[in-house]
C-alpha cells in the first residue's frame, strides 16, 4: 500500500505542479497591475504541489505524516481550483494516495 501511495502521490503532485506553474504565471500577471496583488496566489500555486510531493516522499517511512500532507494538498487544490474536470486528476490521485497512506499506517499499528 505504501508504494502505491507513493506512486499516486508523485503522479498527482507532478500534475498539480503543472497547474501550479500556470497559477504562478497568473500571479505574476496580477503583480504587474498592483504590486503584491498576486503574491499569495503565487505562494499557494507552488507551495501546495511541493507539499504533495513532500508527503508522497515521506509516506514510505512515516505513512500518517505523508497521508496528512497529501490530504491537505488535495483539499487546498479543491479550495483553489474547485472540483471540476481539470482538478479531478490531481485531487483524486492525491486523495487516494492519502487514503492508502492512512490505511498503511493503521496496518503498521497492528
49-73 pLDDT tens trace: 999 999 999 999 999 999 999 999 9
- The three three-digit cell numbers of residue 51, written as one number: 507539499
Report domain extents, the chain: 2-109
Residue 14 has pLDDT above 70, yes or no: yes
Tell me what percent of the residues of the chain surpass a pLDDT of 90: 59
Amino acid at each position: 500500500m505504501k508504494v502505491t501511495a507513493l506512486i499516486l502521490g508523485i503522479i498527482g503532485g507532478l500534475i498539480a505542479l503543472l497547474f501550479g506553474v500556470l497559477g504562478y504565471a497568473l500571479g505574476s500577471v496580477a503583480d504587474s497591475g498592483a504590486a503584491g496583488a498576486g503574491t499569495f496566489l503565487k505562494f499557494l500555486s507552488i507551495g501546495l504541489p511541493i507539499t504533495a510531493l513532500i508527503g508522497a516522499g515521506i509516506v514510505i517511512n512515516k505513512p500518517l505524516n505523508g497521508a496528512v500532507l497529501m490530504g491537505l494538498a488535495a483539499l487546498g487544490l479543491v479550495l483553489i481550483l474547485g472540483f471540476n474536470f481539470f482538478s479531478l486528476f490531481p485531487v483524486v490521485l492525491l486523495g487516494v494516495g492519502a487514503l492508502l497512506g492512512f490505511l498503511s499506517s493503521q496496518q503498521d499499528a497492528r
